[in-house]
Amino acid sequence: MASNPPSRSSRGRARGRGGAPSENQSPPRPQTQGPRPQTQGPRPQTQGPRPQTQGPRPQTQGPRPQTQGLGQQVSRPQASRPQTTRQQAPITQTKQTTESSNIEEITQGVLNIRTAKDECHSEVSISRGAMHGRGMMNNDILLVKPEKARIKGKEGQFGNPVALLSNYFPISAYTDWVLYQYRVDFSPEEDRFIVRKGLLGAHQKRLGAYIFDGTMLFSSRKYEPKTFELTSKRYDDTMIKVTITFTTVLDPCHYAHIQVFNLILRNCLRSLNLQQIGRNFYDAKAQIKIPNHKITLWPGYETSIVLSDSGLLWRTEISTKVMREETVFDFFVECLNNSKRNPGWMETFKAGVIGQTVMTRYNNASYKIDDVDEKANTQSTFEKKDGSKMSYVDYYKQKWNITLKGGKQPMLVSKKQRALKSLDDKSSEDLIYLVPELCSMTGFTDEMRNNFTTMKAVSEYTRIGPRDRINRYYNFHKRMKSTPEAMESLKNWNLGLKEKLVEIKGRMLPPELIYTVNESYDGGFECDWSRKITTKPMFKTASLSRWVILYPERIDYREFVGSLMKVSYEMGMRLPNPDMILMHDTQIRYYSQILEQIINEKNPSFILCIVSSSRADIYNLIKKKLCVDRAVPSQVVLSKHVSIVKLSIVTKIVVQINCKLGGAPWKVAIPLAKHMILGFDVCHDKQKKNISYGALVATMNDSQTSFYSCVERHESGQELSAFFGATITKAMLKYKELNGCFPLGIIVYRDGVGDGQISHVYQSEVTAIKKTCNVLCKDNSPGLAFIIVKKRISTRFFINDRAGFRNPAPGTIIDTVVTYPTMYDFFLVSQNVRFGTVSPTHYNIIEDTTCISADHMQRLTYKLTHMYYNWAGTVSVPALCQMAHKLAFLTSQSLRASPNVGLDELLYFL
């Protein structure tokens, strides 16, 4: 069995990781299934040697208090963090005696399960997909749908029925499946989890199949009597009394069941000879090499068991792990070679490594890098269990017969939470030290993502169409069914897999009409009206009195400007002749001076800057000058688009100019009077990760074509609800200023929320909106609908008709079978995909006090996907969501400060 990499104990306390980051996705492109670089690896076991160097030790915080029942706070049990059963690399293992060859002891991930005092009904607080490394969050509120959905249901009726398949296999239970929970006590007390597991495992014949997390035991068997004692001999011949006490029967609808089911499934998957990386499993033997781009693809699967409205389902989805031939040491050398040009090269190296997942080449184990220890290197020594010292160079030579060649390279640090710690041991995590030259980089770099040739080569293997994708589902299902160990594991728990994918009856909404100033046209089933907008006048055009085009030398702009004038006229917008300003010096420091001079002398309403390259520093300076220091809408255009004029690009620029000045190119019919619809998203500062910017974009009129936006900056550790309440207050006051009254209803589309954060969002953001409305509106508070928008999901849908398997058309709604019994939710396919497989978006309505029915909420959501003005077609989320993300991203990456309030009624960020 492989051993763990060198590690040391952290003297700080555990620090929870932050929430899921927001997705930086190009909105015009439909979502298709491609490679998903994983960012979280399995937590390997370490409890061993400490390096003798005094490297920097990350400061950490203690575990957060846990919640149980209806908001009752409880302390984290000592046995809350189990170790994984697979070991990775130097540790002297404690001797143990276990005879559990036929037993399923699955320990990873059960730490979130807590004891309930009620023996008849469980009140265990479990998060569906809780965040790794973070304390348990109170999710009890999420186990109940909004009252309206419980009374009237969540299924709509509008639309044409359509028969669908989804990537779920039903799970059958041979008997009425019951999960019993027991508490396990040891006398004398034994704190080491690995020893506890061995003491309990000695009684496999008596206990049968079970799951043990260090304190609690879960089994489908009901043991008699309710309390009984067993005796085991420890490795030092000490006799240990093991007392097992029944505590409760877990409710069938409780998420504790799902956690246990997924642990059982994970154990089954290990018997398929697949490599676990993060939460997914990959087939290293079926790897695909792309030598021209120094990339290797590992095909694999993302699987889980979910509790749906139709019962237990096994979801399986195709996943691809991108492995790079480049090692971390290669990247280190690259940064070092640029040290003369970049004095902060070490910070560049750290920024490129910290937070990334690497793969160790000697045993294919994955680790998430949390820090870089500059003071440690391969010559540093660590103390072994027997007290002797060994250098990393000697360790890898003796253990793996590897000769390190990288010299004094800094060591990578990966944190691993302790499974079970002693009462007198205040440290709660181990720091695993890794050698850069032995760690392969994973995932795509920004350079790779921007390289068309690279991404095209990868997409040939990852862009899988509906027919091939379904074939892979069935092949994986067949592989599972034909593996005796996997089927025996399921049988031990009285579970089985059905043979066919689940069938669903969805509904397809009709195409929307796109309205211009004096006519309308059909958006079509493909939802693309990019050709029609060039010949139709826009719905609302803004006036422009004076504008400036700033251009560098050796650029012939005449054809480009002529096309702008011509296209804008055909689209109903009259652009005056611009003032052309030549840039004699394109150095970055000159941009600030010339822009300030232009604003002072000409006072333009709009500035278009032509730049020779896509340098981020120039773009950031222009945007910060015109969006923060001053309030002038602007557009940055690359010179290559000016030299070679394309009608499609010119049309998009005209649309953006109109939007940034307050116009609207089109609209769809939204019969919802006196309602404010808003989107909210959060992005982290590009350089200071502890700084985040929350962006809100809200509609201000009944046609939903007038907008207000604001951004609030906050630091990690500060309560987001205060900032969210401030943005809502600003939007409410602006709505009253423009309309003479507060809105009758507020509809919030909230992006960037992970499953483990939903409870917190409800308790902070939803509560903040309610408080704001109560203060501003007194007894006439508006109705509120708060909708969590989730794009990164593994659910897929397919149509199977005479033409074979194909993607559902835009407007397809699914609100049954694969939806969740504890949610008021639905899936929506809003985009047309020509290649690959379309990705639906999941909507979870966690609060709804409006008078809007389920049908109308689904239709409203689909209508709003037509309103993102950067793309003449539908996008994957409602336009307000995409706008909020665009604003938050611009602020966090370029402006790094709150925008000028003079722009808050304009879509200057498109």
Backbone angles phi, psi at 629, to 5 degrees: -65, -40
Biggest CA–CA distance in the chain, Å, is 93
Quick one: average pLDDT of 116-122? 31
Q: Could you tell me the CA-to-CA distances from 649 to 313, 448, 906 in Å, in that order? A: 46, 24, 21
Residue 165 has pLDDT above 70, yes or no: yes
Residue 719 makes CB contacts below 8 A (sequence gap 6+) with: 764
* pLDDT band, residue 536 (cuts 50/70/90): confident
Residue 46 has pLDDT above 90, yes or no: no
Residue 725 has pLDDT above 70, yes or no: yes
Structural contact between residues 107 and 197, judged by C-beta atoms closer than 8 angstroms: yes
Residue 52 has pLDDT above 90, yes or no: no
Q: CATH assignment of 541-660, given 3.40.630.10, 3.40.50.2300, 3.40.140.10, 3.30.70.260?
A: 3.40.50.2300
Higher pLDDT, 566 or 114: 566
Backbone angles phi, psi at 3, to 5 degrees: -105, 170
**Pairwise CA distance, residues 703 & 670, whole Å:** 7
* pLDDT band, residue 624 (cuts 50/70/90): very high
Beta strand 179-187 with 168-173 is: unpaired
Strand partners, 212: 217
**Pairwise CA distance, residues 227 & 232, whole Å:** 17
Q: For residue 719, indicate whether it is catalytic.
A: yes
Dihedral sign for Cα atoms in the order 306, 307, 310, 311: positive
What pLDDT sits at residue 32? 44
- Catalytic member of 430, 437, 751, 825: 751
Backbone angles phi, psi at 749, to 5 degrees: -105, 115
Quick one: average pLDDT of 699-722? 85
The neighbour count for residue 403, using CB atoms within 10 Å, is 8
Backbone angles phi, psi at 165, to 5 degrees: -115, 155
Residue 367 makes CB contacts below 8 A (sequence gap 6+) with: 5, 41, 44, 357, 358, 360, 412, 414, 432, 434, 439
Eight-class DSSP state of 530: T
Helix axes 466-481, 484-492, angle to 10 degrees: 70
Residue 294 has pLDDT above 50, yes or no: yes
Q: What pTM was estimated for this model as a whole?
A: 0.80
Residue 815 makes CB contacts below 8 A (sequence gap 6+) with: 154, 155, 156, 825, 826, 827, 854, 858
Residue 843 has pLDDT above 70, yes or no: yes
Mean pLDDT of the chain: 81
What pLDDT sits at residue 720? 65
Higher pLDDT, 514 or 431: 514
**Pairwise CA distance, residues 489 & 496, whole Å:** 10
Per-residue pLDDT tens for 591-621? 889 999 999 999 999 999 999 888 888 999 9
Query: Among 41-55, 416-430, 717-731, which range has the highest average pLDDT?
Result: 717-731
The neighbour count for residue 113, using CB atoms within 10 Å, is 26
Burial-class residue 513 by CB neighbours within 10 Å (0-12, 13-18, 19+). Answer: middle
What pLDDT sits at residue 40? 39
Residue 173 has pLDDT above 90, yes or no: no
Residue 2 has pLDDT above 60, yes or no: no
**Closest listed residue to residue 428, CA positions, set 41, 64, 55:** 64
What pLDDT sits at residue 744? 95
Strand partners, 434: 412
Burial-class residue 206 by CB neighbours within 10 Å (0-12, 13-18, 19+). Answer: exposed
Higher pLDDT, 329 or 73: 329
Within 13 Å of residue 579, how many CA atoms lie on the same side as its CB?
15
What pLDDT sits at residue 29? 41
The three state secondary structure string of 21-86 is CCCCCCCCCCCECCCCCCCCCCCCCCCCCEECCCCCCCCCCCCCCEEECCCEEECCCCCCCCCCCC
Q: H-helix or E-strand containing 228?
A: strand 227-233
What pLDDT sits at residue 588? 82
What pLDDT sits at residue 385? 74
**Pairwise CA distance, residues 364 & 230, whole Å:** 39
Quick one: average pLDDT of 363-379? 88
What pLDDT sits at residue 717? 58
* pLDDT band, residue 701 (cuts 50/70/90): very high
Report the percent of the chain where pLDDT is more than 90: 45
Quick one: average pLDDT of 830-852? 93
End-to-end CA, the chain: 55
Q: For residue 801, indicate whether it is catalytic.
A: no
For the chain, percent helix, then strand, then coil, each to nearest 5? 30, 25, 45
Per-residue pLDDT tens for 735-774? 999 999 999 999 999 998 887 788 888 888 899 899 999 9
Residue 780 has pLDDT above 70, yes or no: yes
The three state secondary structure string of 154-178 is CCCCCCEEEEEEECEEEEEECCCCC
What pLDDT sits at residue 119? 32
**Pairwise CA distance, residues 782 & 779, whole Å:** 9
What pLDDT sits at residue 214? 82
**Pairwise CA distance, residues 147 & 165, whole Å:** 30
Concatenated DSSP letters of 814-858 = E-SSSS-TTS-EEEEE-S--SSS-B--EEEEEEEE-SS--HHHHH
Report the percent of the chain where pLDDT is more than 70: 81
Structure tokens at 349: 């190296």
What pLDDT sits at residue 98? 37
What pLDDT sits at residue 253? 65
**Pairwise CA distance, residues 799 & 260, whole Å:** 32
- Tracing tokens 């320990």 back to the chain, one arrives at 107
**Amino acid at site 411:** M
Residue 731 has pLDDT above 90, yes or no: yes
Residue 53 has pLDDT above 70, yes or no: no
* pLDDT band, residue 255 (cuts 50/70/90): low
Residue 734 has pLDDT above 80, yes or no: yes
Q: For residue 751, indicate whether it is catalytic.
A: yes
Residue 273 has pLDDT above 70, yes or no: yes
- Catalytic member of 684, 815, 885, 904: 885
383: left (phi over 0), alpha (psi -120 to 50) or beta: beta
Residue 63 has pLDDT above 70, yes or no: no
What pLDDT sits at residue 527? 92
Q: For residue 885, indicate whether it is catalytic.
A: yes
Quick one: average pLDDT of 70-99? 34
What pLDDT sits at residue 143? 53
**Pairwise CA distance, residues 826 & 774, whole Å:** 30
Structural contact between residues 23 and 340, judged by C-beta atoms closer than 8 angstroms: no
- Catalytic member of 317, 681, 755, 765: 681
